[in-house]
Amino acid sequence: MSSQKQTETEISQLDEAARAAWLYYVGGKTQDQIAKELGISRQRAQRLVSRAVAEGIIHFRLDHAIGRCLEIERKLRHKHGLKVCRVAPWLGEGVDPVPGIAPLAAVEIERVLSSADPVTIAVGTGRTLRAAVEELTRMDCPRHRLVSLNGNIAPDGSASHYDVIMRIGDRVRAPHFPMPVPAVASSEEERHLFHSLKPVQRTMELARNADVTFVGIGQVDETAPLVKDGFISAEELAECRKLGAAGEIAGWIYDETGKYLDTGPNLRMTGQRVDPPQDSVVVAVAAGLSKVRALQAALKGGLVNGLVTDEATAIRLLD
């Protein structure tokens, strides 16, 4: 066997070991489940996990880039003109994809924070972004600025469980600017009142001119986070769906072409809307079949030019 073929075989074996270890440590699957998932014997699954540990491939993060994921990333970059693309190994049917993509999103955030030049980073809210922040290595980044895209207060005055700006600011010790308003105003007049306040104008200007933005993607079906978290009513969402709503970013609802609706809750959203980036980078962090339609629309409309997702979601986006 030639040395080139030996090298290719070695890479393939490391790919398999990395995937098995990912399913074991991140997916929480048993060796029997891994064996069934990969179509191998239980003994081989056990050996693969052991090899991944011995080779130092997996500890708290996966250091070996799986070949299949790299190829999917390449195709997504080409198809959608992405500046950033990271694809995590699929954890399997019925497994929450968030623990799989959160470490990759954290790596991407850390890459931006490692810049020697001052950078302004805007962030949305939500479960996925919060999970990514929890994966961040503690850093000292006083040269950078962090800014929230949207308010984090529900109509009843309660705070969201998925705040990001305060957590990331504490994690990396950087100046951070919360959006000092409720996520949704009770009326258009109230929204205009909030936007007339100098602190709000300053925060919105920072968010609007951010160098890099990280956002979650919300679906607009019966499991919509906007309704689940109490920001809008089910009736309001139903009206938006009649108008072709496909997804939402930072609360702003857009249709299947990636165009924001000019009616409904969007008239009362108080935060900074994420428009198609020109010279900046907007990274969507989302995975799962429920997110596919929303991601497709965001990509079609050019609302994002970066993506962190998993294999299953990525393949659907390519199809």
Domain holding 222: CATH number? 3.40.50.1360
Looking up tokens 């949704």 gives 184
Q: Are residues 235 and 127 in the same domain?
A: yes
Q: Are residues 238 and 298 in the same domain?
A: yes
Looking up tokens 């130092």 gives 56
Phi, psi torsion values for 176, nearest 5 degrees: -135, 150
The tokens of 65 are what?
């880039």
Is 61 domain-assigned?
no
* CB of 110 closer than 8 Å to CB of 139: yes
- Residue 6, class by beta-carbon neighbours within 10 Å (0-12 exposed, 13-18 middle, 19+ buried)? exposed
Is 128 domain-assigned?
yes
pTM: 0.82
Q: How does pLDDT run across 65-87, given as a tens digit for each residue?
A: 688 899 999 999 999 999 999 99
CATH classification of the domain holding 20: 1.10.10
Is 25 domain-assigned?
yes
Is 62 domain-assigned?
no
Q: Are residues 34 and 78 in the same domain?
A: no
Give, for 200, the enclosing helix (H) or strand (E).
helix 198-208
* CB of 87 closer than 8 Å to CB of 314: yes
Q: Are residues 116 and 225 in the same domain?
A: yes
Is 59 domain-assigned?
no
Query: What is the model's pLDDT at position 236?
Result: 95
Checking if the pLDDT of 202 tops 90, the result is yes
Write down the mean pLDDT value for the chain.
90
Is 293 domain-assigned?
yes
- Our count of domains for the chain comes to 2
Is 122 domain-assigned?
yes
Which DSSP state fits 176? E
The tokens of 27 are what?
């997916």
Is 158 domain-assigned?
yes
Q: Are residues 128 and 264 in the same domain?
A: yes
Q: Are residues 170 and 43 in the same domain?
A: no
* CB of 164 closer than 8 Å to CB of 133: yes
Q: Are residues 200 and 293 in the same domain?
A: yes
Which residues, in sequence order, are bridge partners of residue 282? 213
Domain of 13, in residue numbers? 3-54
Q: State how beta strands 212-215 and 252-255 pair.
A: unpaired
Checking if the pLDDT of 37 tops 50, the result is yes
* CB of 253 closer than 8 Å to CB of 247: yes
Q: Are residues 27 and 75 in the same domain?
A: no
Q: How does pLDDT run across 218-265, given as a tens digit for each residue?
A: 999 999 999 988 889 999 999 999 999 999 999 999 999 999 999 999
Query: What is the model's pLDDT at position 2?
Result: 47
Q: Are residues 32 and 87 in the same domain?
A: no
Q: Are residues 25 and 106 in the same domain?
A: no
Across the chain, where does the E strand assignment appear?
Answer: 84-88, 120-123, 145-148, 176-177, 212-215, 245-249, 252-255, 281-285, 306-310
